[in-house]
Amino acid sequence: MTTTILAIESSCDETAVAILRYDSEHSHVLSSEISSQIDIHREFGGVVPELASRNHSLHLRPLIDLALKNAGLQIDNIDAFGATSGPGLASSLLVGNTTAKALSIATSKPFISVNHMEGHLLSPFLPSTSIEPNLALIVSGGHTMLIHMKAFRDYTLLGNTRDDAAGEAYDKVGKMLGLPYPGGPEIEKQARHGSATAFQFPRSMIKDGLGFSFSGLKTAVLYQLEKLSPETGSAPQDSIPDLCASFQQAVIDILVHKTMKAADQAGESLITVSGGVSCNAALREAMQQACDAQGKQLLIAPPHLSTDNAAMIAFVALQYQLAGLHSDIKEDINPNLALVR
C-alpha cells in the first residue's frame, strides 16, 4: 500500500510544506520546503504575530506549488492533507489549517489535524516506520517537557517548565547581551570562545522532581550584568563569550540531569531529543556522553527536522492515516492545544 501525505506547518513564523510517501516498508520525504521569516522579525527582537500571519498568506500557495513540483506530483496524487492545529499563534495557525482543509474539501481527501508538539515528539523516528517506547525531551522556544512515550498516542507528561522554556530563556538572555535575534544560535556561537566556568549561574530546581524553571537563571544573568556594568547594566564585549558559555552550561546541566533522571524513573533505555534547542551542538554532545555513561541509546532528530518544519507534521499525519484516524473538517485550531491532557 502506498500513501502520500501533504502537510502544512504555520504555527509561528516559519511557513512550511512537505510531502511524505509511505510504501508499506519505509516513509520517504519527497519534498520539504520552508520559507523563513527570521530576517523580517529580527529588527523587532521577536515574532510579530500580524507580520507572521501576513507572510504565511503570501508564501503558502507558492510553497505548495513548489513542494508538488519537487516531488513530481499533482494535487490529485495526494491521499490526505495534514496541518498543525496548535499550539501556536492563532492568526498563523489559521492560515495553514484552513488551506489544508480547503485542499481536503476540493479533492475529497481526508483532513488530519496535527499537534505541533507531537510533530517534535515523533521527529527523531522519521523516516523509520517503527516508533519505539522512549523517554522524550522536547526543548524549544515555547516548550520544555519530558514525556514518557509508551507507543503512538500513549504519552505521559513527566515534567514541564513552570515559567520560561529553555529556548525562550536563550532568546531573552541573548537580548540582554545585545545579541541579534534569535538568541539561541548567537549564544551558542559566542559560547565556543568562552569559559563555561567563568560565572557560577544557578542550576534551578535541578534536585526538585522533573519540572523545569529557567526564570531564575535568566535573572541571575541580569544581576551579573549589573555587577559588571553598574551604570549601564550592559555586557562588556570581552565578557560576552564567558557569559554565554556559563549560561549555556547551566541550561545543559539542567536538561541532561532531568532527562536522565526521567529515563530511569520511566524505566526506558531509549532517550529521544527534539525541538529547536536540540540543534545546539554542546547539548547534543553532553546528552550523548550522559547516555554512553549510563548505557542508554540516544536518538536526536537532525537539525533540519528539529526546528519547525512540515516533514514532522506529515510524519504524524501519516501515523493517523495508517490508523484510519481522520479529523472533522469543522475542528477548530487551538493556540493552547495540549499534547497530554
**122 assigned to some structural domain:** yes
The pLDDT value given to residue 210: 97
Residue 333 lies in a domain: no
Mean predicted confidence (pLDDT) in 94-110 = 98
Asked if residue 335 belongs to a domain, the reply is no
Residues 296 and 310 in one domain: no
Distance (Å, rounded) from C-alpha 218 to C-alpha 330? Answer: 42
- pTM, entire model: 0.95
Residues 145 and 22 grouped into a single domain: no
**Strand pairing of 134-139 and 270-274?**
parallel
Beta bridge partners of 32: 18
**Residues 164 and 45 both lie in one domain:** no
One domain, residues 290 and 186: yes
Q: Is residue 184 located within the same domain as residue 318? A: no
Helix (H) or strand (E) holding 27: strand 27-36
pLDDT score of 187? 98
State the sign of the Cα–Cα–Cα–Cα dihedral 255, 256, 261, 264: positive
- Residue 313 sits in which domain range? 3-126+305-322
Dump pLDDT digits (tens) for 170-209: 999 999 999 999 999 999 999 999 999 999 999 988 888 9
Split at pLDDT 50, 70, 90, the class of 46 is confident
Strand, helix or coil for residue 77: helix
Same domain, 147 and 290: yes
Q: Are residues 102 and 165 in the same domain?
A: no
Average of per-residue pLDDT values in the chain: 96
313 and 256, same domain (yes or no): no
| 240 and 195 Cβ atoms separated by less than 8 Å | no
What residues pair up with 34 in beta bridges, in sequence order?
A: 16
Return the pLDDT at 44.
87
Domain assignment present for residue 328? The answer is no
**Domain shared by 110 and 218, yes or no:** no
The answer to whether residues 293 and 309 belong to one domain is no
Question: Do the domain assignments include residue 278?
Answer: yes
Could you give the angle at the alpha carbon of 5 between the alpha carbons of 58 and 106, nearest 5°? 60
CB 123 within 8 A of CB 227: no
The per-residue pLDDT for 289 is: 98
The Cα 83–Cα 104 span in angstroms is 11
Q: CA 273 to CA 325: how far, in whole Å?
A: 26
What would the grid cell of residue 238 be?
Answer: 570581552
SS3 98: helix
Same domain assignment for residues 175 and 315: no
168 lies in the same domain as 296: yes
What's 154's domain CATH number?
A: 3.30.420.40
User: How many structural domains are present in the chain?
Assistant: 2
Strand segments (E) across 70-188:
80-86, 111-115, 134-139, 144-151, 154-160
